[in-house]
């Protein structure tokens, strides 16, 4: 980690810039990941990430690939700031004994950071997933439409729906994250936004436990000396390697989280009562390989995202911005 101490405003600026740039670059791949993870065996609408993106552009237009991006862009600043600041905070307190940071302490700091970030991550993912998966459900219905019209209406099976309709709506239907959030708050209270909290913790805590120590040790290899920082390109590569490795390692938990947080389902898609029930049903009906759905997409998302995050964080963009601020006060 950088030897300089960053203020909280600097962390907010760094986290915000890095998150916004990263999300804008990789969000279409994240959308493909969500749709691939949510489709069941025998009901595949998309064959691969590329097939998903091509079909999305054809049916929903270019901006269809950015469904749900506004939620991420709004909440990514506090999420990334909490994650990075919490890791620094725990590392600082774990090294007060003067013995330095070993791998175990780095893992503990990462565990603390992952636990703190779910306060923002859970509602952000909850809203994002509804918007991202809407196109898949609409495409699934359009594929089945000819069969439904030729069959007797009495024998058609109804698509399970909630109080609001997010997935099976026409592609020109406008359902915003604000509308979904308001409906959840009205019907289920604040806890409605935190559906899948346990699965989010199960994903984000191990991710941070793997990511932060791995990044710190890879980044350390690029330092010319103990008192100097690694070059920005080395920090970028370290972030890419650590991010993609951690992402694939926790992908089974991400599949479970995505399934649990999806409120609307297509015809014949099962619902789940919890983490264990979801894991059991997925394993029984789709096999072990289902837990790796979207793993390639997730690695492609996390690699550049965390590479960008670390470059912005270690270059200290926030500090440079604050140094030119008229409100900046230099402490003696």
pLDDT band, residue 332 (cuts 50/70/90): very low
Least confident range from 11-15, 32-36, 70-74, 126-130: namely 11-15
Residue 74: phi and psi, rounded to 5, are -75, -40
Cα(136)–Cα(298) distance, rounded to whole angstroms? 18
Amino acid 6: pLDDT: 56
Least confident range from 11-20, 43-52, 140-149: namely 140-149
Least confident range from 217-221, 306-310, 318-322: namely 318-322
Res. 157: pLDDT tops 80: no
Dihedral angle sign, alpha carbons of residues 306, 307, 310, 316: negative
68: DSSP letter: T
| Predicted confidence (pLDDT) per residue in 314-331, tens digit | 777 777 777 765 555 444
Q: What is the mean pLDDT of residues 128-151?
A: 71
Q: What is the mean pLDDT of residues 50-64?
A: 93
Q: Which of 17-26, 172-181, 214-223, 240-249 has the highest mean pLDDT?
A: 240-249
Two tokens, residue 155: 């024998």
Amino acid 103: pLDDT: 87
Amino acid 173: pLDDT: 53
Amino acid 167: pLDDT: 39
Q: What is the mean pLDDT of residues 128-138?
A: 89
Cα(261)–Cα(75) distance, rounded to whole angstroms? 18
- How many Cβ atoms sit within 10 Å of the Cβ of residue 163? 10
Amino acid 326: pLDDT: 55
- 173 conformational bin, left if phi > 0, alpha if psi -120 to 50, beta if neither: beta
Amino acid 300: pLDDT: 93
41: DSSP letter: T
pLDDT band, residue 232 (cuts 50/70/90): confident
| Predicted confidence (pLDDT) per residue in 36-53, tens digit | 999 887 778 899 999 999
Q: What is the mean pLDDT of residues 175-183?
A: 90
Res. 260: pLDDT tops 90: yes
SS3 262: coil
Which of 196, 170, 193 shows the shortest CA–CA distance to 259?
196
Res. 75: pLDDT tops 80: yes
Q: 324: exposed, middle or buried (C-beta count within 10 Å: 0-12, 13-18, 19+)? A: exposed
- 294 conformational bin, left if phi > 0, alpha if psi -120 to 50, beta if neither: left
């Amino acid at each position: 980690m950088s030897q300089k101490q960053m203020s909280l405003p600097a962390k907010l600026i760094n986290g915000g810039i890095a998150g916004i740039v990263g999300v804008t670059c990789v969000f279409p791949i994240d959308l493909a990941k969500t749709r691939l993870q949510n489709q069941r065996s025998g009901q595949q609408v998309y064959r691969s990430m590329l097939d998903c993106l091509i079909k999305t552009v054809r049916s929903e237009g270019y901006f269809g690939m950015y469904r749900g991006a506004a939620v991420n862009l709004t909440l990514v600043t506090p999420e990334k700031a909490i994650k990075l600041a919490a890791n620094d905070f725990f590392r600082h307190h774990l090294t007060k004994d003067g013995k330095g940071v070993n791998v175990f302490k780095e893992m503990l700091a990462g565990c603390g950071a992952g636990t703190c970030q779910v306060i923002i991550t859970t509602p952000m993912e909850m809203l994002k997933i509804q918007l991202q998966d809407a196109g898949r459900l609409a495409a699934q219905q359009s594929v089945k439409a000819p069969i439904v019209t030729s069959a007797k209406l009495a024998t058609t099976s109804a698509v399970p729906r909630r109080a609001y309709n997010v997935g099976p709506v026409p592609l020109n239907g406008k359902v915003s994250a604000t509308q979904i959030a308001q409906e959840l708050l009205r019907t289920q209270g604040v806890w409605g936004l935190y559906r899948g909290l346990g699965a989010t913790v199960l994903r984000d805590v191990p991710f941070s436990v793997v990511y932060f120590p791995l990044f710190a040790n890879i980044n350390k290899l690029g330092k010319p000396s103990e008192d100097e920082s690694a070059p920005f390109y080395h920090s970028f590569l370290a972030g890419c390697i650590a991010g993609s490795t951690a992402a694939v390692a926790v992908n089974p938990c991400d599949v479970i989280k995505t399934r649990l947080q999806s409120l609307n389902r297509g015809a014949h898609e099962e619902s789940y009562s919890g983490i264990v029930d979801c894991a059991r049903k997925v394993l029984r009906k789709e096999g072990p390989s289902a837990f790796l759905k979207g793993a390639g997409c997730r690695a492609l998302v996390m690699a550049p995202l965390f590479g960008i995050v670390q470059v912005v964080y270690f270059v200290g963009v926030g500090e440079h911005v604050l140094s030119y601020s008229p409100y900046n006060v230099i402490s003696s």
